[in-house]
Chain A
Amino acid sequence: MNEPMDFLIWTRSTAFDVAVTIFVIGVILRLFEIISLGRKQNLAEAKGTEFGPGMRTIFSRSVPDLGTFRRQPLTVVTGYMFHIGLFISLIMFVPHIELFRATFGFGWPGLPTPIVDAAAVLALIGLLAGLWHRIMNPVMQKITTFEDWLVWTLTFLPILTGYLAYHRMVDPYPLILGLHVLSVEALMIAFPFTKLMHTFTVFLSRWYNGAMNGRRGVES
């Protein structure tokens, strides 16, 4: 009789603890794994600096090269749609901000829900279009592995369930809210061990790229 509420309570307590623990341990472990491999000291006389160009590339790589964009606009457009939609719905939705506040002791102002709602739709469309593209595009077919499908599903479900929960399209609400929380937990557990890690490592890899090129006097 009490299952949906028991389920919601479980997802908000035990399951959340487990997921957060695995997520935090995993992410830190992975970053250690990466950084511990080190980088040889570069003895060649530098033409430029490393730090600044590295930081610059962290931002500049968000803007695609025009020629490449023209060749494969869908990848860029769906990527933008998904990431912008995800970021807005993840970090600008008041309930999510409250979770951050409860965890880290600080928060920030949220956006009105219609905007968050539109962002979630944007993210969903972006993901669906991206999935279609992944299925149809020969290059993506060649390089797609099981992990890519897994990661897509784990990313899609929290947004979908979040959307359904917000619009109260599943009855009772505790059930869909619980599913939303559970899907996020699944995402968090898989996160450190899959390419979801790019969320963090993209800063490393873009920095390394920018720094290595910057040293040679190239803006990358």
Chain B
Amino acid sequence: MAEKNTLGESLRRHGVSRRGFLKFCTATASLMALPPTMVPAIAEALEKAKRPSVIWLSFQECTGCTESLTRSHSPSVESLIFDHISLDYHHTLQAAAGEAAEAAREAAMHENKGKYILVVDGSIPLGDPGYSTIAGISNLEMLKETAKDAAAIVAVGTCAAFGGLPQANPNPTGAVSVSDIIKDKPIINVSGCPPIPTVITGVLAHFLTFGSIPDLDQYNRPKVFYGQSIHDRCYRRPFYDKGKFAETFDDEGAKAGWCLYKLGCKGPMTYNACATAKWNQGTSWPVESGHGCLGCSEPRFWDAGGFYNALSVPISDNSQTVAFAAAAGLALGAAAAGLNYKNKDEATKAHGTVTIDDLEKSS
């Protein structure tokens, strides 16, 4: 249940000092790419912010997004925020089950009507509601019902944001994203498979601080995290420009940390903060660990070509297309050649010998 006391009070009650709190505010400001002058404003806003009620709905998902959040390091911006929001419904994390759980959701919706934040992970099946239900309620119905009185919706993970893995070709469940269904609420897409935990909390912090949603890109992703591509922020970029590429995962180039483009890195088409925010307590991120970016924060990344094919390689089997076309070309070419041969032969046969009596136009 959402508490009446403020976030500041709650933090202090949990033993967070003023100094620690300001440190957190500074971190939040930097995360959101705000100038340091904004730190006092953030501190003030967060100090006074009421613990918001958060309802977390999980649809067709793998719990990876939740795992990502819960595995975040401590003490962290993430844990601070999550300790101090009122997570009123999250069927993986909550203790309650069955009717009690659903009752908690309904209560939260009722008590915080128009103020709660709805977090969704997983995509919604439109093919047959039976593909995914919670307490006998279809995902679609639950989403529509819960979204109705939400202040804002945060679609966490690529499944919720864009359809993700369930939507991948041939999309057996008819999976769609939150924004394919909900059109009348502000939706923040925090894409990634899974998304960076800091990014989720950063978005929530922004909402708490400013009471509004951050600047979004055309996919409704916060620009502050998704404004630049992996490629542009990649520390291996100089190798790309110099033309130095790893050809296999264990060659000299790979060991020397050269660009992974040829090994299928989708960094150029992928917008995310991995290169700067990193993973596992800032330890590393895929490219740093020697594997190309999969492009997981982009729509339809599962269908965007083999993970180990370069971005410039066509998605379909081009060798086969060329081979078939060449065979067809030979057949059609032979036909065209035959036609030309016949045509010319006819002309040769129709040749009327020109004599000096045939030099003037007839008529």
Interface presence of B116 (CB below 8 A): no
- Tell me the bound Cα distance from A16 to B177 in angstroms: 28
- Which residues in chain A, 91-110, are within 8 Å of chain B measured between CB atoms? 94-96, 98-99, 102-105, 109-110
Check if B313 sits within 8 Å of A24, measured CB to CB: no
Cβ of B197 to closest chain A Cβ, rounded Å? 24
Apart from A13-B315, A16-B314: 11 A-B pairs, beta carbons within 8 A: A16-B316, A25-B332, A28-B329, A33-B337, A95-B310, A98-B312, A99-B310, A102-B314, A104-B319, A113-B242, A172-B219
Cβ of B81 to closest chain A Cβ, rounded Å? 27
Contacts of B340 in A (CB 8 A): 33, 36-37
- Which residues in chain B, 316-343, are within 8 Å of chain A measured between CB atoms? 316, 318-319, 321-322, 324-326, 328-330, 332-334, 336-338, 340-341
Interface presence of A218 (CB below 8 A): no
**Interface pick from B51-59, B85-93, B301-309, B350-358:** B301-309
Whether A95 touches B322, Cβ cut-off 8 Å, given contacts A1-B299, A9-B300, A32-B337, is no
Interface presence of B185 (CB below 8 A): no
Interface presence of B243 (CB below 8 A): yes
Interface presence of B225 (CB below 8 A): no
Check if A102 sits within 8 Å of B240, measured CB to CB: no
Interface presence of B115 (CB below 8 A): no
Cβ of A161 to closest chain B Cβ, rounded Å? 14
- Tell me the bound Cα distance from A165 to B318 in angstroms: 22
- Tell me the bound Cα distance from A134 to B217 in angstroms: 42
Number of residue pairs spanning A and B whose beta carbons lie under 8 angstroms apart: 152
Check if A8 sits within 8 Å of B322, measured CB to CB: no
Interface presence of A147 (CB below 8 A): no
Interface presence of B241 (CB below 8 A): yes
Contacts of A105 in B (CB 8 A): 319
Check if A99 sits within 8 Å of B318, measured CB to CB: yes
Check if B304 sits within 8 Å of A8, measured CB to CB: yes
Interface presence of A35 (CB below 8 A): yes
Pick the contact of A20 from B217, B218, B318 — CB < 8 Å?
Answer: B318
Check if B241 sits within 8 Å of A114, measured CB to CB: yes
Contacts of B313 in A (CB 8 A): 98-99, 102
How many A residues touch the partner, as a band?
Answer: 35 or more
- Residue pairs across A and B with Cβ atoms less than 8 A apart, 30 shown, are A9-B300, A9-B305, A13-B314, A20-B322, A21-B321, A23-B325, A24-B321, A24-B322, A28-B333, A29-B329, A32-B333, A32-B334, A32-B337, A33-B333, A33-B337, A36-B336, A37-B340, A38-B341, A94-B243, A94-B262, A95-B312, A99-B310, A99-B313, A99-B314, A103-B318, A109-B243, A112-B241, A112-B243, A113-B243, A173-B269
- Tell me the bound Cα distance from A13 to B328 in angstroms: 20
Q: Chain B CB within 10 Å — which of A13, A26, A32, A38 has the most?
A: A32
Interface presence of A174 (CB below 8 A): yes
Contacts of A96 in B (CB 8 A): 312
Cβ of B160 to closest chain A Cβ, rounded Å? 12
- Tell me the bound Cα distance from A43 to B241 in angstroms: 58
Interface presence of B201 (CB below 8 A): no
Whether A8 touches B269, Cβ cut-off 8 Å, given contacts A32-B337, A95-B261, A110-B243, is yes
Check if A1 sits within 8 Å of B179, measured CB to CB: yes
Check if A174 sits within 8 Å of B321, measured CB to CB: no
Check if B304 sits within 8 Å of A5, measured CB to CB: yes
Check if A103 sits within 8 Å of B309, measured CB to CB: no
Contacts of A13 in B (CB 8 A): 314-316
Contacts of A103 in B (CB 8 A): 318-319, 322
Interface presence of B180 (CB below 8 A): yes
Contacts of B344 in A (CB 8 A): 37-38
Interface presence of B251 (CB below 8 A): no
Check if A28 sits within 8 Å of B326, measured CB to CB: yes
Which 3 A-B pairs give the minimum distances between C-beta atoms? A28-B329, A32-B333, A36-B337
Contact with B along A173-195 (1 / 0, CB 8 A): 11001000000000000000000
Contacts of B241 in A (CB 8 A): 112-114
Check if B325 sits within 8 Å of A95, measured CB to CB: no
Interface presence of A2 (CB below 8 A): yes
Residue on B nearest A2 in the bound complex, by CB: B299
Check if A5 sits within 8 Å of B298, measured CB to CB: yes
Check if B319 sits within 8 Å of A94, measured CB to CB: no
Check if A174 sits within 8 Å of B269, measured CB to CB: yes
